[in-house]
Every structure is written in structure tokens, then in C-alpha cells.
């Protein structure tokens, strides 16, 4: 009887230990993909080039002084320190990239896009182009790494 009670105690203690482990153990520790590295390696930050609809420029993703800085820990810094306006705070949020989908948080100054980012159309060491919405309502954002 005591042996059965011992096993239950050990099982209960094991479960308690698993639950109490720090959440950091669940973090994604895989190495970045080649596409993620393209985003991360733009150390000065991606600067906005423009927003397009059906090939026509319809505005800007953000003022030219803004920079999106993708960090390897999954954080996105939306840096406005180069702007001359009084609002120079840095906004930090999370980002992710699959083979063809870029997930972004809400970005200050972006009046066109959804908070989720969009379909990656082009990604090189100097150019990022992604779109959202479909058909005639398609919007494309273009960013550059200087």
C-alpha cells in the first residue's frame, strides 16, 4: 500500500515541478531561417519607401524618418528617434515570418494595413515588399534597408 502512495506522491510532485518551470523554457530556440536573417541583418532598420494600390502610389507606410528593426528574439522595434516631431518613443512588439507571410503588430503611422502584416512578395537584403487584401483592394508596402 505504501508503495502505491509513494508513486502517486512522486507523480504529483513531478506534475507540480513541470507546471512551475519558467515559461522561458518554452521559448523558440531554433536558429533563424534565411528569410528571418534578411530582416534581422538590416541593423539600421527598414525605412518606408511607399504604399501602392494597383501600381499607383497611395501614400507612405510611415514617415521617412521611421525605422522597423527586426530583432532575433522576435521583437520589433519601431524606431522614431530620427523624426523631428516631439513623439520619438520607440515602440516594441512581436513579429514573425513564415515562408511567405509576415506577421506584424500595429505600426504607428500606418493607416492602410491590418495589424497582422501580409503576404511577402519580395525579400532581399535591401528590399522588403509585402501586400494585404486581395483583388482590386490589394495594398502593397515597400520598405528598404539602406
Give the domain range for residue 129.
33-144
The answer to whether residue 108 sits within a structural domain is yes
pLDDT tens-digit readout, 74-115: 888 888 777 766 656 576 778 888 888 888 876 655 555 555
The answer to whether residue 19 sits within a structural domain is no
pTM higher than the cut 0.75: no
CATH number at residue 75: 2.40.128.540
The answer to whether residue 22 sits within a structural domain is no
Which pLDDT tens digits describe the chain residue by residue (146 residues)? 565 554 555 455 455 444 454 544 545 567 889 999 999 999 999 998 988 888 888 877 677 788 889 999 988 888 877 776 665 657 677 888 888 888 887 665 555 555 566 899 999 999 999 988 778 888 888 999 99
The answer to whether residue 48 sits within a structural domain is yes
| Residue 131: partners with Cβ closer than 8 Å, 6 or more residues away | 118, 119, 121, 138, 139, 140, 141
The answer to whether residue 115 sits within a structural domain is yes
Number of compact structural domains in the chain: 1
The answer to whether residue 119 sits within a structural domain is yes
The answer to whether residue 124 sits within a structural domain is yes
The answer to whether residue 15 sits within a structural domain is no
Q: In what order do the strands lie in the sheet with 101-103?
A: 56-59, 47-53, 139-144, 127-132, 118-123, 101-103, 96-97
Q: What pLDDT is recorded for position 43?
A: 92
Amino acid at each position: 500500500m505504501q508503495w502505491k502512495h509513494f508513486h502517486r506522491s512522486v507523480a504529483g510532485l513531478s506534475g507540480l515541478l513541470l507546471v512551475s518551470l519558467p515559461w522561458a523554457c518554452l521559448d523558440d530556440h531554433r536558429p533563424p531561417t534565411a528569410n528571418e536573417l534578411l530582416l534581422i541583418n538590416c541593423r539600421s532598420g527598414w525605412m518606408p519607401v511607399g504604399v501602392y494600390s494597383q501600381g499607383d502610389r497611395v501614400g507612405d507606410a510611415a514617415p521617412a524618418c521611421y525605422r522597423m528593426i527586426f530583432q532575433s528574439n522576435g521583437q520589433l522595434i519601431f524606431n522614431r528617434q530620427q523624426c523631428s516631431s516631439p513623439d520619438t518613443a520607440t515602440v516594441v512588439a512581436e513579429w514573425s515570418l513564415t515562408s511567405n507571410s509576415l506577421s506584424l503588430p500595429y505600426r504607428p503611422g500606418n493607416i492602410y494595413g491590418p495589424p497582422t502584416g501580409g503576404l511577402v512578395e519580395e525579400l532581399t537584403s535591401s528590399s522588403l515588399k509585402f501586400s494585404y487584401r486581395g483583388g482590386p483592394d490589394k495594398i502593397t508596402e515597400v520598405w528598404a534597408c539602406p
